[in-house]
Amino acid sequence: MRRARAPRPDRGRRRGARPPSLDGDHSAALELLAEGELEIEGRLVEASNVTLYARVRYHGTAAACVYKPVAGERPLWDFPPGTLAAREVAAYAVSRATGWDVVPPTVFRDGPYGPGMCQLWIDADRGTDLVALARRRDHQQLRDMAVFDAVVNNADRKIGHLLPLPDGRLYGCDHGVCFGEEYKLRTVLWQWRGRQLPARALDALAGLRGQLAGGELGRELAELLAPAEVAATRTRVELLITSKIHPYPPENWPAVPWPPV
């Protein structure tokens, strides 16, 4: 789970600073993250890569955020080095394009420790039982997230990556190991495997197919991912639309991340 070393969540409220809204248009949040001044306040010590808790301020707007510099990425055998931050931004782009909005506003920018990913901090509801939430079958946005993970080929959907808000909305974090060419979906959200995709998901996937083919999303992903990875994303979308079912676990790949929390 996200835990910062000595974060001070009240600092962004000083001198009349106001946080950006997550409702509707994310342009204010994206501008803040991209253009604001970053002040590092702590490190999330449980993260495998360097993950910093920061405060970002810009023209009277302020918020907490997560900053992951490329220089702090741990090399992985199955992903090219220095690409995890861009994958996080690509995951946000897909989330917004579908209307699922399961990824907080995320940008790629320069920072105190070089270029990297900067994502709006989500104050998750600490009273939520995340294990029970991850097992639910009647949670619409959780099911959206399961379809989203299938699209982006998420290889690390842990329980601790779920960020529920008190108002019922749900976000997810840590999408650095997504968009691999080979099928390696690894998640705790297998409760819908083999079941028919809801109409809501099929509509979103149809729109996503069009945006990948010749829309803004296709152009954005082309700047963030390798051409083969963009092509594989299109293929996954087509397979989901054709099969109309939630995918099954891979046969030659661990189906659940370890540890699952």
Closest of 114, 89, 128, 123 to residue 221, by C-alpha? 89
What pLDDT is recorded for position 24?
A: 81
Q: Is residue 257 part of a domain?
A: no
Higher pLDDT, 23 or 172: 172
What pLDDT is recorded for position 17?
A: 59
- Cα distances (angstroms) measured from residue 138 to each of 87, 103, 134, 186: 29, 20, 11, 21
Q: Is residue 174 part of a domain?
A: yes
Q: Count structural domains, the chain.
A: 1
Sequence-separated contacts (24+) of 247-255 with Cβ below 8 Å: 247/150, 247/185, 247/193, 248/193, 248/194, 249/185, 249/190, 249/193, 250/183, 250/184, 250/185, 250/186, 253/183, 253/184, 253/185, 253/186, 254/186, 255/185, 255/186, 255/187, 255/190
- pLDDT of residue 13 exceeding 60, the answer is no
Q: How far is the C-alpha of 184 from the C-alpha of 249, rounded, in Å?
A: 9
Q: What is the pLDDT of residues 51-78, one digit of tens each?
A: 999 999 999 899 999 999 999 999 999 9
What pLDDT is recorded for position 248?
A: 97
Q: What is the pLDDT of residues 144-196, one digit of tens each?
A: 999 999 999 999 999 999 999 999 999 999 999 999 999 999 999 999 999 99
Q: How far is the C-alpha of 50 from the C-alpha of 17, rounded, in Å?
A: 28
Q: How far is the C-alpha of 187 from the C-alpha of 199, rounded, in Å?
A: 22
Q: Is residue 214 part of a domain?
A: yes
Range of the domain at 196: 11-243
Instruction: Please list the residues that pair with 42 across neighbouring strands.
Output: 53
Token pair 């019922």 is found at 168
Q: Is residue 226 part of a domain?
A: yes
Q: How far is the C-alpha of 156 from the C-alpha of 259, rounded, in Å?
A: 10
Q: Is residue 249 part of a domain?
A: no
Q: How far is the C-alpha of 246 from the C-alpha of 149, rounded, in Å?
A: 11
Q: What is the pLDDT of residues 204-240, one digit of tens each?
A: 999 999 999 988 999 999 999 999 999 999 999 999 9
Q: Is residue 250 part of a domain?
A: no
Cα angle: 243, vertex 249, 253; to 5 degrees:
130
Q: How far is the C-alpha of 221 from the C-alpha of 111, rounded, in Å?
A: 22
Q: Is residue 97 part of a domain?
A: yes
For residue 150, what are its two tokens?
């299938």
The percent of residues in the chain predicted with pLDDT above 70, rounded, is 93
Q: Is residue 108 part of a domain?
A: yes
What pLDDT is recorded for position 45?
A: 87
CATH (domain of 205): 1.10.510
